[in-house]
Structure 1
């Protein structure tokens, strides 16, 4: 009788341990829908982006400007202009509107990204760190630049942390997924 009770207690403990282990395997949720949709939306500016701003027939205003930590660029004549969260066309419109307020009659402003903010690659890679972003980059490209996977690296799925509409989201995705400037890629250790 005692042996049967011991056997059932051990079986129950093993079942609980198995359930806990399996629950630990599924603690990362797949990336939400908004996470994937962000990769097909127009590019949104943020701190660290360096912009080439051209004001037609105004060489003294045409220059390269970096979005500061507060999310602004300092533009001659008009001062601080909010860049964080703006698209390129939105920011060029905002600068043109400010220049129209007593500085230029009909300003023609164009903006292009001179250098994107970096991506960060962490975890089971050869050289974790900060790397330059290139449009169209996938997680696999970023991992390759960071020295590739270590022998313990999970090569099937990774975690990507991304800022969307001011909110920071982390989701599980495949290595072939597109990434955005400012993303943090984390390569987990594989279980077996």
Structure 2
């Protein structure tokens, strides 16, 4: 039976199947659409002119709130770990509530959602230093983040949603999914990213990245990685399965 890509979860992401739908050898099957490289101009491929339409780009830009791509902003639901040097009573975890604020002893509530971690650290330091502590030394880190997760799907060993380590790359995300499956096409790995409501997608060749011929792109929370299958590998897999069934029968027929 022909293997099928395991696309789920993401509405507009199915558009890439249409983008990859150039006919091969006169075939116009769903499998052909899913295993054919995008042949339109990589500079700008769009599924339509409406806002939020999927557009293919050569490289994905970093999200605008990441301070030049170096730091992901704090989001609602994140849990921050506040450490105040030599003041253990003020050191504690603080969860960002639905209004984007955290609540701390003495200083009360502070708005943090959408701000870089270092900016939050500086704001908490000012809040304590103004009225309560002399030269406070405060460190803020992310203990748990609902926003810093990546979806890995398609032809990987274990598709799913995974916590994204700091400075994680595309190869890191594929490793979280257990690596490529036996029928994966290393040339057809797509990364999807939402930038200010615009859905962008870029195609990466994992073999080139591993060979050092292309840089390993950094991923950010909310990214989706989809690995498509290889038509030739599917055909070979089907052939092996067919031979595996046929061989015992052939042996029985031999005198």
Q: Name the TM tier (shorter chain).
A: 0.5 to 0.7
Determine the structure 2 residue equivalent to 1:122: 153
2:81 pairs with one of 52, 75, 97: 52
| Structure 1 unaligned spans of 5+ | 1-13
1:34 pairs with one of 54, 58, 61: 61
Q: Distance in 2 between matches of 1:39 and 1:101?
A: 27
Residue 131 of structure 1: CA displacement? 1.6
Determine the structure 1 residue equivalent to 2:106: 77
2:126 corresponds to 1:97? yes
Q: Go from structure 1 to structure 2 and tell me whether the alpha carbon gap of 1:180 and 1:191 turns closer, same or farther (over 3 Å shift).
A: same
Residues 130-188 of structure 1: per-residue CA shift (max 9 Å, x gap): 22322332212211221222344331243323355x54643214243221244222223
1:155 pairs with one of 162, 168, 186: 186
RMSD: 3.6
How many residue pairs end up in the alignment? 174
Given that 1:158 and 1:185 are in contact with CA atoms closer than 8 Å, whether structure 2 keeps it comes out as: yes
Given that 2:74 and 2:116 are in contact with CA atoms closer than 8 Å, whether structure 1 keeps it comes out as: no
Determine the structure 2 residue equivalent to 1:171: 201
Q: Distance in 1 between matches of 2:126 and 2:132?
A: 10
Q: Distance in 1 between matches of 2:181 and 2:138?
A: 47
Report the TM-score, using the length of structure 1 for normalisation.
0.67
Given that 2:80 and 2:142 are in contact with CA atoms closer than 8 Å, whether structure 1 keeps it comes out as: yes
Moved more, 29-38 or 84-93: 29-38
Q: Go from structure 1 to structure 2 and tell me whether the alpha carbon gap of 1:119 and 1:67 turns closer, same or farther (over 3 Å shift).
A: farther
Q: Go from structure 1 to structure 2 and tell me whether the alpha carbon gap of 1:81 and 1:138 turns closer, same or farther (over 3 Å shift).
A: same
Q: Go from structure 1 to structure 2 and tell me whether the alpha carbon gap of 1:108 and 1:23 turns closer, same or farther (over 3 Å shift).
A: closer
